[in-house]
Amino acid sequence: MLKHTSIDSPFGELAVLWRKEAALRIVRIVIPAPSQTVPESMLDYADAVAGHHSRVDALCAQIARSLAGEQVPLPIDLLDPSVCTPFQWRVLMVEKTIPRGQVRTYRQLAVAVGSPRAARAVGNALARNPFPIVIPCHRAIRSDRSLGGYCGGLEMKWALLEMEGIAFDAQGRVILQDKKPGS
């Protein structure tokens, strides 16, 4: 049975969709989008019922703290990789390694997953990320340092990056910081 747990955040309501069958698995995290609120998005999951589980509630609390600006580890052990293609899961696992306060280009991610000519496919895989926030797809940008896209909209992507210390120039492009060894 599909269940959902809601999260209040500075960005509005979010929902975590999960199942507890043989194992507890998160199947989707729904965030507000410019064209659709979370309650509207939840119409796609009409069979989901409200529910709680201690591990889901703990993850929801961590997500809420993260969205409030805290640096909180967001574990992936509950995520259900079967809702992704193998390529998408590889992309998401590389994306998860980007440290808070840093970004990578879609091209850099393509190289990291072993498909250097697949920047567009990487962007498409991230656009369909079923686990936003836990898999921080907002940390992927275009090669020209513009934001690209984000399921929660560009305002949310900008706000998440700023919260992590990313700065922008007058054209709205990410200002890349030179990281010194050991810093």
pLDDT at 35: 86
Strands (E), 109-173: 140-141, 167-168
Same domain, 28 and 107: no
The answer, yes or no, to whether residue 73 has pLDDT greater than 60, is yes
Same domain, 53 and 19: yes
Single-letter code of the amino acid located at 68:
A
- The tens digit of pLDDT for each residue in 121-165 reads 999 999 999 999 999 999 999 999 999 999 999 999 999 999 999
Same domain, 100 and 154: yes
The answer, yes or no, to whether residue 101 has pLDDT greater than 70, is yes
11 within a domain of the structure (yes/no): yes
DSSP reduced 3-state for 158: helix
Same domain, 10 and 49: yes
77 within a domain of the structure (yes/no): no
Structure tokens at 156: 């949310």
Per-residue pLDDT, averaged over 51-63, amounts to 96
* Residue 143: domain span: 84-174
Q: What single string gives the DSSP state of each residue in 67-119?
A: HTT-------TTB-GGGS-HHHHHHHHHHHTSPTT--EEHHHHHHHTT-TT-H
The answer, yes or no, to whether residue 64 has pLDDT greater than 50, is yes
Average of per-residue pLDDT values in the chain: 94
The answer, yes or no, to whether residue 25 has pLDDT greater than 80, is yes
pLDDT at 178: 63
- CATH code (residue 163): 1.10.10.10
Give me the catalytic one of 60, 84, 137, 151: 137
Q: Which of 32, 67, 102 is the last residue of a domain?
A: 67
Same domain, 163 and 89: yes
157 within a domain of the structure (yes/no): yes
153 within a domain of the structure (yes/no): yes
Active site residue 137: yes
Count: domains in the chain: 2
Per the confidence metrics, is the pTM higher than 0.75?
yes
The answer, yes or no, to whether residue 103 has pLDDT greater than 90, is yes
Same domain, 61 and 106: no
Same domain, 98 and 51: no
39 within a domain of the structure (yes/no): yes
Banded model confidence at residue 183, pLDDT cuts 50, 70, 90: very low
Describe the strand order of the beta sheet including 24-30 as a list of residue ranges. Answer: 24-30, 12-20, 2-9, 49-50
8 within a domain of the structure (yes/no): yes
Same domain, 89 and 52: no
Banded model confidence at residue 44, pLDDT cuts 50, 70, 90: confident
pLDDT at 179: 55
